[in-house]
Amino acid sequence: MLRTHHRLLTAATASLLVLGLAACGGTTKDSSSSNGGPAAQGGASADPNAKSKEGLKIAFLPKQLNNPYSDVETAGGKVAVGEVKGEYKLVGPNDASASSQVSYINTLIQQQQDVIVVAANDPNAVCPSLNQARQAGIKVVSFDSDASKECRDAFINQATTQGIGESLVKMANELAGGEGEIAILSATPNATNQNAWIEVMKKELAKPEYSKLKLVKTAYGNDDDQKSFQEAQGLLQSYPNLKVIVSPTTVGIAAASRYVSSSNYKGKVAITGLGLPNQMREYVKDGTVKKFALWNPADIGYLAAYAGAALASGQITGKQGEKFTAGKLGEYTIGADGEIVLGPPTEFTAQNIDQFDF
């Protein structure tokens, strides 16, 4: 009897404590206010002639370590941090998960960094901690994969989202011979950049000139080599008439190419997307991949570091129209919503692939 009472008491107390959280009335998805909480202090005006600060602690937090693409990006960032005489730090999770990034952001706040350069695994999940960072006086620059615009000061976009999406569809169309089934092998389902590009692709595919192309599936390889490999396998098992696999992630395109080049599908299914020349070289040479695109990731990290340094020195505040100089890349102007675009993508084929080393 007493035993049961103790059980119920514990259960009841626990439930009461939880219900104590609940306010009166229902807070639902539609009625709740925007995420991220109170935004960081804005309102300071830019001073383009402010002296660039030295010794700035600039920390890079890519989507994950163990990713050759991020490695090139952050290497570029390291060079830039050296040029502005700052202190470079690289941290990141081994899995492309947002929760892990939150832990790292917390640690960086504790370590009193000046700038955090982050590629978000989930635009909303990292928001509360990024805003905490901004409240603590840290400048936040997102690159590669954006966070929600309320929680960062500037965003370095590798190329215009529209441009990337268009170029992906164009290449797929060419390789499919103008008609047939295509599939997308993406990274993680929440990645901002992936979803933005896929959105554009879907809009492009709805246009009359691409009416004979059909997108049958979007698979997710989570930027994990093994999973991407298995997803590529699955796509070809489920859709025997697939003509093209488009993979807008360097891990996905590398894994898919590796699978196809050692299977019976070589030559029958085309692979394209965004890839690193060094990883893709052998598949271009052996004919598995005819054409793919990218830009120089090192430049993104480089530009991001300079933008962060400019923010921390007060030369810019992230408003549209402000200008700053980014070392050897020259002068950049901030676009709408704090977006800074690097430049147009490059297409790689067997003809030009040997000119690049990254």
Residue 124 found at the interface with other proteins (CB under 8 A): yes
Distance of CA 262 to the CA centre of its chain: 29
- Which of 166-174, 197-205, 231-239, 289-297 is the region at the interface with other proteins (rule: CB under 8 A)? 231-239
- Which of 44-52, 274-282, 329-337, 349-357 is the region at the interface with other proteins (rule: CB under 8 A)? 274-282
Q: How far apart are CA 167 and CA 181, in angstroms?
A: 18
Among 211, 278, 333, 349, binds other proteins (CB under 8 A): 278
Q: Bin 8: left if φ > 0, else alpha if -120 < ψ < 50, else beta.
A: alpha
Interactions with other proteins, residue window 233-272 (CB under 8 A): 233-234, 237-238, 240, 254-255, 258, 262-265
Residue 286 found at the interface with other proteins (CB under 8 A): no
Among 41, 45, 49, 110, binds other proteins (CB under 8 A): 110
Binding mask 4-33 for other proteins (x = CB under 8 A): --xx-xxx-xxx-xxx-xxx-xxxxxx-xx
Q: How far is the CB of 283 from other proteins (least distance, A)?
A: 10
Strand partners, 348: 292
Interactions with other proteins, residue window 166-195 (CB under 8 A): 188-190
Among 42, 50, 82, 106, binds other proteins (CB under 8 A): 106
The burial of 165, by beta-carbon neighbours within 10 Å (0-12 exposed, 13-18 middle, 19 or more buried), is given as buried
Count of residues that interact with other proteins, criterion CB under 8 A: 79
By beta-carbon proximity to other proteins, the closer residue of 108 and 159 is: 108
